[in-house]
Amino acid sequence: MIVYMDDEVEFKSTLENKRKLKNIIDRYAFAFQRGNIFDLCDWLPFMREHGISFDVRTEETLFSKVVQAKNPIIWANMLIYSSYNQTFFDEVRLTVDRVINEQLTRISDREIMLHEEFWFLLIFHNCPHISLDTKTALDKVIDTVYAEASSNATPHPSDKATMLVCDFLRHINVGGGKPESSFFNWGNTTGIGAMITYRTFQRTIFKRYQSSKYSLYVSLD
């Protein structure tokens, strides 16, 4: 939708059209307030990238949906979106810190990587916005998983795979920080809508396509 809309009105490069888009989003805010957060979460980084924000009521509704979803990817998108306003950003960041630590306490010592809560570690292990204490807690879990996998004198294939994942999570850049790109990209990558579009049935198609009368032909070159 976003790609097609920009093809027609060029809101990304025209401030007046961006203002019109903002007005339309405000007018149809009820769609975001009533919608499924799993369907709406991709709007959050898009809105942040282009400097467009929802009204306060819609933000409060979306935030409530994010809390109920308990999904690390959706939390990450909300954290990115909220950064347009420092007060809102600080509120979301504190909540994310609390949620991550709560999830980590639910992980038992056995088969840690099989826990749903481990996804919070995959998404936030390189997040530059969380507190130092939370980063330390995440690193501690990674070290624990690695130590357990490497403790066997004759590692099983699953142990080797676990160690590879942990090595990836523990990677540090030359400057001493973690890479911005990982399982979740916390960097300043923009223009994702120009590379990917979406259609129904949970299928993703890339921009190199041509229209036909009945469908879209896709090239994965």
Judged by average pLDDT, the poorest of 80-84, 132-136, 184-188 is 184-188
Alpha-carbon distances of 19 from 13, 14, 24, 113, 185, rounded to whole Å:
11, 9, 9, 45, 28
- Token pair of 5 as six digits: 């809309």
- Of 12, 84, 76, the residue nearest 53 (C-alpha): 84
- Of 52, 106, 43, the residue nearest 74 (C-alpha): 43
Do 180 and 124 form a contact (C-beta atoms < 8 A)? no
Residue 196 pLDDT: 53
Residue 180 pLDDT: 81
pLDDT digits (tens, 9 = 90+) for 101-147: 999 998 877 777 888 899 999 999 999 999 999 999 999 999 988 89
Q: What is the mean pLDDT of the chain?
A: 82
- Token pair of 27 as six digits: 């007018």
**Which amino acid makes up residue 214?**
Y
* Rounded Cα distance, 57 and 18, in Å: 21
> What does residue 190 show for φ and ψ, rounded to 5 degrees?
-130, 170
pLDDT tops 50 at residue 220: no
pLDDT tops 50 at residue 201: no
pLDDT tops 60 at residue 159: yes
Residue 195 pLDDT: 54
Q: Name residues whose C-beta falls within 8 Å of residue 20's C-beta, 6 or more positions apart in sequence.
A: 9, 11
* Rounded Cα distance, 142 and 159, in Å: 14
- Of 1, 66, 35, the residue nearest 200 (C-alpha): 1
Do 158 and 175 form a contact (C-beta atoms < 8 A)? no
Residue 192 pLDDT: 55
Residue 114: other Cβ atoms inside 10 A: 9
